[in-house]
Amino acid sequence: MKKLFLVSALLIATLVLAACGQDSAESGTAGGTTGGMGATAAAGAEAAGIPTDREHYTFRMHFNYAWFTPNPWGGDDLSAYWAEKFNITMVPTSPDANEMETLNLMIMADDLPDVIWMDRSPHNVEMSRLGLFVPIDDMVAMVDNNWYHDNILASTQAFYAVDGVNYTIPNWARQGIVGQPGQATGGNNAWMITTNIWEAVGSPELNTLEDLFDYMIAVRDAGLTNSAGVPVIPMLTNAGPNFGADFLNLALLRAHGGVPDGWWFSILEDGTHGFLPRSETWRTSLMELNRWHREGLFPTTNLTNSLDQFLEAVTTGRGALIFYDHSADDQNRFRAILRETDPGNSIEVVTSIYNGRTITMLPARGLSPDRIYHEHHATLGWNGSFITTSAEQPERIFEFLTWLLTPEGSAEMMYGPPGGIWDYLDADGIPVFNTLPVELTAEELISLGAWRWDIHGHANHVDRIKFAVNNSLPEEMRTWVETMQYEVFTPNLMITDEFAVIALSIEPGTDLHISRTFISDNMEAVLPQIIMAPTEDDALRLLDDALAFAEANNIAEIERVQNERYQYNLSVQGGTIFRAPGSP
């Protein structure tokens, strides 16, 4: 492979100094634990079968996101414990600005870090083909454990493969039976109501999308205000540039029986994978959203507000109906803040009972709830780590990162090292606590390292443990999010890999990839105009124009290539778990 050596010596020196500076100032040392955890770490290594007679190993891990600030290694009890347990030091780095520009500079300077935490995207596919990553099979052959294969399904590994070779250590991978409800765990997006607004208009039943519409109309016509006298907004959803596509696809398309794959593609009525503007189901959903806007049910600013502006409206009780990630309450406390500042008021998930099952995705136009799909998850997870050929001992990095995928590693990641607030794992792999996590302050949790190193979470293990811990607490101490995920969301969630890596079937830099980018950019620009169009005829005209633009930019060939990959995925998985919209 040809490398470009046009980067200045000054830049190379800067990169080296930055890494050295982090090593000395932030990374800590293998012996930097506090509280006498050395014996505990040695016992943990012995129990896990980790050799204790190896030389200390230092490696550089690059977190390839400008928005992500890695924690200092050794600066909390957990990373200090892992430093001793594995006899390693991690030197964490992240880009100050454009992550891909930073990564390209590293490649040109022949200064790749030992491991990169990044999206599964055309970029890592290209880097794989350039020979910059170490194959998983090579590293499995170097270690004494089988943590990777034990926790990552063989079918999942096949989907990760680039030209038949797998390089991915995944983050938030899953295991389970495809297509059966309750196999995926967790759950996020839902309709929610602010309870005092709902009560003010008569506490109407909310079982269908039409019920939600009638509720919003009632709120609009009632002229309600919040406790500070500021007007209530009938509907709010997560703001920002993704508002149109995210909300439309996750909420309204699902209500009409559709299933999105990203922003602009989905299963069409004929069962193929295609461009959403061709789908009558999606067009109907989009016209419904246009109708909501024409009825004055949400402000135009909902398309442009920042997340902070959205949260300000939600936490001050201005959102009658809210579509949002309910689990965000664990981070930004949107529900908790409202309940604290307005006693007696609350935000609650809208649920309906169907055949004895609690559902959160409400149907439209008389569809049976059996035809409405809740969120689904792939086994592949989110992003991953890729160990580069720069690593002198790739197997040491592989050993540590794949430990995080195990049930034991998950328990440590969530609640810190053994000997801290928990003493041992019971027969079900659940920590036995001497101090409950909910009793710790935020500062104590940070010092412990709890949830600060979830860089290779395994969704099944993490959710199983956190649900068991939450359910063991007195009811008043349980968290709302985990209770809702366990009782309401998880029973509806399914696993499917049928949409896996479809976007990567079109190689970056090709004419087809450029065309797809043009089409996507145009859809992002046009969608707000369609939503805000003054009449349905105007909205449909704009939508037809967007489809014509896509057809002029080779959308048919894009669909052909991506559908070919979709059909391949179905052959690997054994078929789809969804019925095409409009099918009997």
Label residue 329 by pLDDT band (50, 70, 90). very high
pLDDT number for residue 244: 66
Mean pLDDT across the chain: 90
Label residue 25 by pLDDT band (50, 70, 90). very low
Label residue 85 by pLDDT band (50, 70, 90). very high
pLDDT number for residue 581: 87
Report the pLDDT averaged over residues 194-207: 98
pLDDT surpasses 70 at 5? no
Report the pLDDT averaged over residues 281-310: 92
Report the pLDDT averaged over residues 373-381: 92
Strand partners, 233: 319
pLDDT surpasses 70 at 101? yes
Choose between 301 and 73: higher pLDDT: 73
pLDDT number for residue 129: 93
Q: Where are the beta strands (DSSP E) in 217-306?
A: 233-237, 260-261, 265-267, 273-275
pLDDT surpasses 80 at 3? no
pLDDT number for residue 135: 98
pLDDT number for residue 351: 97
Report the pLDDT averaged over residues 296-319: 91
Instruction: Looking at mean pLDDT, say which of 6-15, 432-441, 557-566 comes out highest.
Output: 557-566
Choose between 14 and 563: higher pLDDT: 563
The predicted-structure confidence for 165-184, as pLDDT tens digits, reads as follows 999 999 999 999 999 899 99
The predicted-structure confidence for 480-501, as pLDDT tens digits, reads as follows 999 999 999 999 999 999 999 8
Q: Where are the beta strands (DSSP E) in 326-473?
A: 347-349, 352-354, 357-359, 376-377, 384-387, 422-425, 431-433
Contact 519, 555 (CB under 8 A): yes
Contact 426, 432 (CB under 8 A): yes
Both tokens of 458, joined, read 């395994």
- Burial group, residue 529, by CB count within 10 angstroms (0-12, 13-18, 19+): middle
pTM, two decimals, is 0.86
Both tokens of 323, joined, read 């579509």
Which candidate, 439, 464, 426, 404, places its Cα nearest to that of 79?
404
pLDDT surpasses 60 at 21? no
pLDDT number for residue 238: 82
pLDDT number for residue 20: 39
Q: Which residue has the tokens 């709830």?
A: 369
Contact 373, 362 (CB under 8 A): no
Report the pLDDT averaged over residues 99-121: 94
pLDDT number for residue 22: 37
C-alpha distance from residue 22 to each of 28, 59, 81, 116, 126 (Å): 9, 12, 19, 16, 29
pLDDT number for residue 40: 82
pLDDT surpasses 50 at 4? no
pLDDT surpasses 50 at 568? yes
User: Taking phi first (over 0 means left), then psi (-120 to 50 degrees means alpha), and beta for anything else, what does residue 277 get?
Assistant: alpha
pLDDT surpasses 80 at 123? yes
Residue 70 DSSP symbol: P
pLDDT surpasses 50 at 11? no
Cα 268-272-273 angle, rounded to 5 deg: 80
Choose between 73 and 508: higher pLDDT: 73
pLDDT number for residue 310: 92
pLDDT number for residue 239: 59
- Please state the three-class secondary structure of 290-311 as a single string: HHHHHCCCCCHHHHCCCHHHHH
pLDDT surpasses 60 at 379? yes
pLDDT number for residue 71: 94
Label residue 510 by pLDDT band (50, 70, 90). very high
Both tokens of 547, joined, read 């489809």
- Residue 431 — φ and ψ, nearest 5°? -60, 140
Report the pLDDT averaged over residues 142-149: 94
